[in-house]
């Protein structure tokens, strides 16, 4: 019986131990769950704190970006205002010339912007009612400018191609000498030219004006077109030579068509320089071959200068270069950007 009790006590003890063990494990489990829950809450709190910090950081970044965009808009508005101001400043002389040309003679000096517009100045200028043949001067400018550009292209394009493809000793000096004719002031050569034109019978003639304007247009065409031809690959012309073309045929059928935009651009620039030239027509012409740049000043003579007629003549003389620029605008943009990006 004692053994049985002992065994029972042991069983109870064992059971009690198991019960304690279960309770212990359960306690440990409850404590672990509590710790996990508490840790989860702490972790969740930390995540909320970190998320709040991130949110505040993102808000600050957005504020900085918004502030940067606001400053960028302000600078953009200031830049636009500056460009508009410069645009108005640059066009103001033309606008003032237009106002003068529309004013009648009796309101020319009495008012600035309050006047009765009239086209009488243009009718006077184009109708030869003042004894000044402005229309003939206009035609003279067209003839000598187109003739000078055509002759310069005829001579300058082959010269530019040859200087770009064939280099020899002293070629750069020769090209710089040609360019120096454009650099030199026109007044330095006007007296010798005047004497030569008087002796040769070229004074106040179309031929004389076309010939002397080569000093203005030819160096410009040669130097600009030289860079265009230099940008072309020589292999294109070599392939044409292998196909049986001569050097002249390779120039006209291969090289020249590829630089048409450049030819259009340089032709416009040369025409503008020839049209706007003032010194050569002033000294080397009198009436027969006089151009608009000198003829427009004829309205300033007499007892009372006719500023409205001068303004109308000046605005009429602007029309041909402007129309030519608008006509070949597509080729002009391509020609000025030709060779800007090289592969």
Which pLDDT belongs to residue 340? 46
Which pLDDT belongs to residue 173? 79
Which pLDDT belongs to residue 194? 93
The angle that helices 307-327 and 260-276 make with each other, rounded to 10 degrees, is 170
Give the span between the Cα atoms of 220 and 181, in whole angstroms. Answer: 10
Q: What is the dihedral of CA 79, 85, 89, 90, to 10 degrees?
A: 40
Cβ(116)–Cβ(104) under 8 Å? yes
Give the span between the Cα atoms of 301 and 130, in whole angstroms. Answer: 11
How far apart, in Å, are the Cα atoms of 65 and each of 58, 74, 79, 167, 203?
A: 10, 14, 21, 57, 71
Structure tokens at 283: 């000294």
Which pLDDT belongs to residue 317? 92
**Rounded mean pLDDT for each run of 10 residues along the chain, 343 residues in total:** 40 42 44 45 47 56 63 84 92 90 83 81 82 90 95 93 82 78 82 93 94 91 89 87 87 89 89 93 90 88 80 91 83 58 43
Cβ neighbours for 120, distance < 8 A, ≥ 6 positions apart:
104
Give the span between the Cα atoms of 213 and 217, in whole angstroms. Answer: 6
| 313 φ/ψ angles, rounded to the nearest 5 degrees | -65, -40
């Amino acid at each position: 019986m004692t053994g049985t009790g002992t065994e029972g006590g042991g069983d109870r003890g064992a059971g009690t131990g198991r019960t304690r063990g279960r309770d212990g494990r359960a306690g440990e489990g409850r404590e672990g769950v509590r710790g996990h829950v508490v840790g989860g809450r702490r972790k969740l709190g930390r995540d909320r704190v970190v998320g709040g910090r991130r949110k505040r950081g993102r808000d600050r970044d957005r504020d900085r970006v918004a502030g940067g965009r606001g400053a960028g808009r302000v600078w953009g508005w200031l830049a636009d205002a500056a460009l508009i101001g410069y645009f108005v400043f640059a066009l103001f002389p033309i606008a003032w010339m237009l106002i003068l040309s529309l004013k009648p003679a009796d309101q020319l000096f009495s008012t600035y912007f309050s006047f009765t517009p009239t086209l009488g100045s243009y009718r006077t200028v184009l109708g030869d009612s003042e004894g000044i043949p402005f229309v003939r001067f206009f035609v003279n400018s067209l003839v000598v400018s187109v003739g000078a550009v055509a002759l310069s292209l005829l001579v300058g394009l082959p010269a530019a191609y040859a200087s770009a493809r064939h280099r020899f000793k002293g070629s750069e000096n020769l090209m710089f000498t040609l360019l120096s004719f454009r650099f030199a002031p026109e007044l330095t050569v006007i007296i010798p030219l005047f004497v030569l034109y008087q002796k040769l019978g070229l004074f106040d003639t179309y031929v004389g004006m076309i010939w002397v304007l080569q000093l203005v247009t030819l160096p410009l065409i040669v130097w600009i077109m030289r860079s265009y031809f230099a940008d072309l690959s020589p292999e294109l012309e070599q392939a044409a030579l292998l196909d049986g073309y001569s050097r002249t045929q390779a120039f006209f059928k291969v090289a020249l068509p590829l630089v048409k935009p450049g030819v259009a651009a340089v032709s416009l620039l040369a025409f503008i320089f020839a049209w706007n030239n003032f010194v050569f027509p002033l000294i080397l012409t009198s009436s027969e071959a006089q151009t608009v740049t000198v003829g427009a000043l004829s309205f300033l003579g007499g007892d009372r200068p006719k500023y409205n007629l001068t303004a109308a003549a000046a605005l009429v003389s602007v029309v041909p270069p402007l129309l030519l620029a608008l006509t070949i605008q597509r080729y002009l943009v391509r020609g000025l950007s030709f060779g800007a990006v090289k592969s």
